[in-house]
Structure 1
Amino acid sequence: MAIKASSPVISSVDSGIGIVMLNRPDTLNAINHELAAAWASAIDRAAGDAAVRAILLCAEGKGFSVGGDLAFFGENLGPGLAPLLGEIIDLLSAPVQQLRNSSKPVVSAVQGALGGGGIGLALSADVVICDASLKMRCGYAAIGLSPDAGASCFLAERIGEARARALFMTNRTVSAEECAALGIVDRLVSTEALRSEALETARQLADMSATSMAVIKSLCNPLRGDALAAQLRAEHDGMMRCAANADAVEGISAFRAKRKPVFGKSS
């Protein structure tokens, strides 16, 4: 059953494929409280639906997701920022774990801007397909915050801890071609073919033996169960530490004012 088009997340089932689509295109699918809650609900339905044999993650508009909605966060600077971020992180942690712990294969179709928590949502899939418009920028360091939504573990899983650490710390933009070369994504296709290629891949996986898919996913997934839960808790704690620091207020304020932030010199 599809969710109304005005929802920040649209979900439907098409011939055994559970399709979950981010739907805040005017913000490049920036993550606020409403989107996080809708995403969690949609993933829970898809993961728990016996009629769904594979899941497709996608997004409406010119970007998969830039990550956190800084305009929304900017309205809650001060003592309320850390609790707000904590609530959103907790909402995103549950579906991230469901996708990784589910026996169902998951495919993501990623275009345009990808940053922050959007990285975690995109890379929570087993197969990640992008088009040439993809530009990934981690974003956290620029505003005095730290990774969430599984971004730290999923990026490190794909390209190694050292490379992931460098991308998070330097905050440089990574092109679609480099994402493919590094292994951040599994396949680079044309913009016109992105959604159809991703859907076809999901259908191919849905037609495979469900038992085979479940066992392969389990054997090749070090980030299951307690290991993933522990990393997500560590992300939560790290974000709370950053959000309670004055640098987070400075970083978000500077971003909104389009100026260079001036961070403190001690942690």
Structure 2
Amino acid sequence: MASDLINVNDAGVLTLTVSTSAAGTSLDHELVMESREALRSVTRGKLDAGAIVLRGAGKNFCAGGNVAKFADAPDRGDYLRGLADDMHSMIEFLWETELPVVAAAQGWAAGAGMSLVLHADVAIGGTSTKMRPAYPGIGLSPDGGMSWLLPRVVGAARARHIIMTDQILDATRALELGILSEVVEDDSVVDTAYDTAAQLAAGPRGSYSAIRKLLQASATNSLTDHLAAEAASISALGNTAEGIEGVNAFLEKRRPDYPGVR
């Protein structure tokens, strides 16, 4: 792994950098591929991590795809299909890890960048953060799961409006809509994201995994089916080392030591 862009720190946080200052902080295809391999390693038990931070290494989180490269491709459709397939494969592994995901959404998160922010469980923005679907502006349609996730976050009618009119959402509006979880000063975005991820990495991994599964399933489950899933989940966790530690720590009035029982 590229030590400064894709790595796991001492707190167990896996950094996935999706853009750099090169090419206007557009989505970096090589970093997407490196991120996919790191996530694959997590799912195969070859890399240990407790949480993930998605970030950009430049002034923006990610300003979208590299449109200049779209234009240079001999077959633009084929090129775009390849880019989308690669990013989607990375996203599938992101979900397969079952780890909490935190986005450090500084500056612009446009196009694919906005899509990636939507995959975060916790998205930290700055006062200058801006988001934009961007796809209609270049005559294209969303990728990265935007058209699946945004309706689940803001509702179908708002999602249609935001995407089709290519709205620019400032930090306040993105927070109101639930796309951002928290807004901090611009120079605190990355540190806040890492602090949040470190807290999650030290927490009950089984609990977080179960919460993510239940929340995802809630969109299509009936209430009866979902109540059954919740009952099965809490029952299974009750007999895990983390579940036992959490209950015991509560009764003993101490902070639970989840890393110590893993």
Q: What TM-score bracket applies, with the shorter chain setting the length?
A: 0.7 to 0.9
User: Paired residue for 1:27?
Assistant: 23
Does residue 69 of structure 2 align to residue 75 of structure 1? Answer: no
Give how far 1:38 is off: 3.1
Runs of 4+ in structure 1 displaced over 3 angstroms?
A: 32-36, 45-50
Q: TM-score, normalised by structure 1?
A: 0.75
Does residue 106 of structure 2 align to residue 111 of structure 1? Answer: yes
**Quick one: percent identity of the two aligned structures?**
31
C-alpha distance 187-67 of structure 1, shift in aligned 2 (>3 A): same
Query: What are the within-5 Å matches in structure 2 for residues 221-232 of structure 1?
Result: 221-222=216-217
Q: Which amino acid aligns with 1:144?
A: G
Conserved 8 A contact 2:17-2:31: no
Give how far 1:186 is off: 0.7
How many angstroms apart in 2 are the aligned matches of 1:28 and 1:221?
33
How many angstroms apart in 1 are the aligned matches of 2:25 and 2:36?
15
Give how far 1:102 is off: 2.4
C-alpha distance 35-203 of structure 1, shift in aligned 2 (>3 A): closer
How many angstroms apart in 1 are the aligned matches of 2:19 and 2:166?
26
Q: Which amino acid aligns with 1:103?
A: E
User: Paired residue for 1:215?
Assistant: 210
Conserved 8 A contact 1:36-1:88: no
Give how far 1:45 is off: 3.5
Deviations 1:55-109 (A, max 9, x none): 11111111111111111111126xx001100001110111212222322111111
| Structure ID, larger Rg | 2
User: Paired residue for 1:129?
Assistant: 124
Conserved 8 A contact 2:126-2:185: yes
Give how far 1:32 is off: 5.3
How many angstroms apart in 2 are the aligned matches of 1:204 and 1:4?
22
C-alpha distance 106-169 of structure 1, shift in aligned 2 (>3 A): same
User: Paired residue for 2:2?
Assistant: 3
Query: What are the within-5 Å matches in structure 2 for residues 228-243 of structure 1?
Result: none
Question: Residue 39 of structure 2: which of 40, 43, 46 is its match?
Answer: 43
Deviations 1:175-225 (A, max 9, x none): 01110011111111111211111111111111111111111111111499x
* Superposition RMSD in Å: 2.0
C-alpha distance 35-65 of structure 1, shift in aligned 2 (>3 A): same
Conserved 8 A contact 2:103-2:120: yes
Count residues in correspondence. 217
Query: What are the within-5 Å matches in structure 2 for residues 162-181 of structure 1?
Result: 162-181=157-176
User: Paired residue for 2:243?
Assistant: none
User: Paired residue for 1:187?
Assistant: 182
Give how far 1:4 is off: 5.4
User: Paired residue for 2:249?
Assistant: none
Q: Which structure would you say has the larger RCO, counting Cα contacts within 8 Å and 6 or more residues apart?
A: 1
Which runs of 5 or more residues in structure 1 are unaligned? 225-267
SS at 2:187's partner residue?
Answer: coil
User: Paired residue for 1:259?
Assistant: none
C-alpha distance 223-134 of structure 1, shift in aligned 2 (>3 A): farther
Conserved 8 A contact 1:18-1:46: no
User: Paired residue for 2:228?
Assistant: none
User: Paired residue for 1:86?
Assistant: 81
User: Paired residue for 2:57?
Assistant: 60
Does residue 94 of structure 2 align to residue 95 of structure 1? Answer: no
How many angstroms apart in 2 are the aligned matches of 1:84 and 1:112?
27
C-alpha distance 105-33 of structure 1, shift in aligned 2 (>3 A): closer
Q: TM-score, normalised by structure 2?
A: 0.77
Conserved 8 A contact 2:38-2:47: no
How many angstroms apart in 2 are the aligned matches of 1:46 and 1:59?
21
Q: Which amino acid aligns with 2:36?
A: A
Q: Which amino acid aligns with 2:20?
A: R
Q: Which amino acid aligns with 1:58?
A: R
C-alpha distance 60-46 of structure 1, shift in aligned 2 (>3 A): farther
